[in-house]
Amino acid sequence: MNGKIQNFGELHVPGKPLILVNIWDAGSAIAVAAAGAKALATGSYGVAGAQGIADGEAFSLDDAIANLEHIVAVSKLPVSIDLEAGYGDDADAVRRSVQRAYNAGASGINMEDRMPGEDRLLAPKIAAERLAAAASSGLWVNARCDVFRGQSAEDDGESLTRQVLDRAQIYADAGAGSLFVPFLADARWIGAICDASPLPVNILFSPDGPSQAELADLGVARISHGHQPWLAAMNWLTGQAEKILGGDAPDY
């Protein structure tokens, strides 16, 4: 493990979370780094959206790696790339894709446990094989677990939390460095997962959920802002364009 990858891993401290304002290109990387970020991470939704295309590996691997290279070139910070489901039909293909991210200078990756366009999660054994292939690169692997996606934490939080923790152990055994549990904003179940997970826990920040300070108190080790910074920037741009085109002065 090289020094930058080790440094990135050491930033995952339960109770003192790494905060990631997710970026989408080299320009946004420079802006976020200038604000004092300790690390950089792309979000696949924003990366694809910045090119006018849909999320879900529609942004080609070649383009994703080229985008990563541009980001790495403008910052000395560790960079994690969202590789969605790993850009591969099987574990061997995932290994080759992730190796390209390593060669391009990444320090970490995000990898999902469902394939693009699919609602059903991969079987734990298959997900573990793909994660192990990714981890063999030496990169820090943030294993995304989509158990709560489209589900009700209020109605089924206990059973869903058990499923997450079952997968967390399997993913840890496969070599993942951290566990990403998006679509969960219920403090009770976030705390339960943080208390029992064998991996440091990454939560997607939600304006409707706990604050960053509250997430830290729950034991979260990494807070991601996902596509929200990109969406906010695009909404701001649309608003300014509407003012300008309507004959009003912009807010800059």
User: The domain that contains 179 carries what CATH number?
Assistant: 3.20.20.60
Q: 169 in a domain, yes or no?
A: yes
Give the end-to-end CA distance of the chain in Å, rounded to a whole number. Answer: 44
Our count of domains for the chain comes to 1
Q: 250 in a domain, yes or no?
A: no
Distance CA 17, CA 39 (A): 12
Residue 231 is part of which domain span?
Answer: 3-245
Mean pLDDT by runs of 10 across the 252 residues of the chain is 92 98 98 98 97 95 98 98 98 98 98 96 98 98 97 95 98 98 98 98 97 98 98 98 97 92
Q: 104 in a domain, yes or no?
A: yes
Q: Which amino acid is at 231?
A: L
| Crossing angle (nearest 10°) for helices 153-173 and 124-135 | 50
Half-sphere exposure of 221 (CA within 13 A, CB side): 21
Q: 252 in a domain, yes or no?
A: no
Q: 112 in a domain, yes or no?
A: yes
Predicted TM-score (pTM) of this structure: 0.96
Q: Three-state secondary structure along 175-220? A: CCCEEEECCCCCHHHHHHHHHHCCCCEEEECCCCCCCHHHHHHCCC
Residues in contact with 133: Cβ distance below 8 Å, sequence separation at least 6, in sequence order? 86, 88, 91, 92, 94, 95, 98
Q: 27 in a domain, yes or no?
A: yes
Distance CA 143, CA 187 (A): 21
The token pair that represents 135 in the structure block: 């981890």
Distance CA 163, CA 141 (A): 20
Q: What is the per-residue pLDDT for 208?
A: 93
Q: 206 in a domain, yes or no?
A: yes
Distance CA 128, CA 144 (A): 12
